[in-house]
Amino acid sequence: MYEGAVQELIDELGRLPGIGPKSAQRLAFHILEADAGDMQKLAEAITAVKTRVKFCSICGNVSEQDTCSICRDPRRDASVICVVEESKDVMAVERTRSFRGRYHVLGGAISPIDGIGPEKLRIRELLTRLSDDTVQEIIIATDPNVEGEATATYLIRTLKPIGVKVTRLASGLPVGGDLEYADEATLGRAFAGRLAV
C-alpha cells in the first residue's frame, strides 16, 4: 500500500477496463514522474469529456451539443438512416466516405442472457424518426455476430410492416484476402449474398 494520493490514483486507474493492478501501478508512477503540464491536460480532457459530451437527441451519437454534427449538417441525405450498435461504428462507416445519409445509434445489441431486451435499446426513438415520410430507407449495419444478427432480425420484423425500405450490409469475403483461407461460415454467406453481374 502506498500513501494517500498515489494509492488513490492506482485504485482509480485499476477500475478502467483492461488495466490490472500492475498496469495501474505503472501508469500511476508514469503520471507522477511526467511533466506537470501534460498531466494537467490529461486531467482537463477527462473533466471536459464528462461535462461537455452528451448524446445526440436525434441519433444517439456522442455530441457536444444537443444534436450531433451529422444530424445538423444539411448536406447529409435525410432520406437514408444507417442503424449501428455503437458510436464507434459511426466512425467506422464514416471512414468509408461512401455513405452520405444519417445514423441511428442503438446503444448495443439484443442479448437476453445479459438482461438486454429490445426495450433497452433506442428502437422506439428510431420508430419516432419514421413518423413522417422523410426517411425512405433504413440500412441495418449491426455487427455480423449472433447478437447483431438477432438484433437485425428483430428490427426487420418491426420495420417491415411500416412500409419503409429496409436493407442490410452484405456479409462475405474481406477485401485483400485469399479465398482458400476463408472460413466456411463467411464463404457460405458470401455465396448466399452473391451479386448478379
Partner 1 sequence: MDLVAEASFTSRAYRDDAVVLRTHKLGEADRILTLLTKHHGQVRAVARGVRRTSSRFGSRLEPFMVADLQLVPGRSLEVVTQAQSKGAYGHAIASDYSRYTVATAMAETAEKLTDVDGESGTAQYQLLVGALAALSRGAQEPGLILDSYLLRALATGGWAPSFTSCARCDAPGPHTAFNAALGGVVCADCRPPGSPAPAPGTIVLLAALLSGDWETAAASEPRERSEAAGLVTAYLQWHLERRVKSLQHVDRQP
Residue 112 in the binding site for partner 1 (CB under 8 A)? yes
When binding is defined by CB under 8 A, the residue of 108, 130, 149, 169 that contacts partner 1 is 149
Strands 101-105 and 165-168 turn out to be unpaired
Distance of CA 138 to the CA centre of its chain: 17
Site for partner 1 in 175-194 (CB under 8 A): 177, 181-186, 189
Q: Nearer Cβ to partner 1, position 36 or 175?
A: 175
Copy the grid coordinates of residue 154.
Answer: 428483430
State the Cα–Cα distance between residues 115 and 117, nearest whole angstrom: 6
Give the nearer residue to partner 1 in terms of CB position, either 137 or 149.
149
Binding mask 67-86 for partner 1 (x = CB under 8 A): --------------------
Alpha-carbon span 3 to 1, nearest angstrom: 7
Binding span for partner 1 by CB under 8 A among 5-13, 27-35, 57-65, 109-117:
109-117
Handedness of CA 27, 28, 32, 36 (dihedral sign): positive
The rounded distance, in Å, linking the Cα atoms of 128 and 134 is 12
Q: Which residues bind partner 1 (CB under 8 A)?
A: 18, 110-115, 117, 144-147, 149-150, 153-154, 157, 174, 177, 181-186, 189
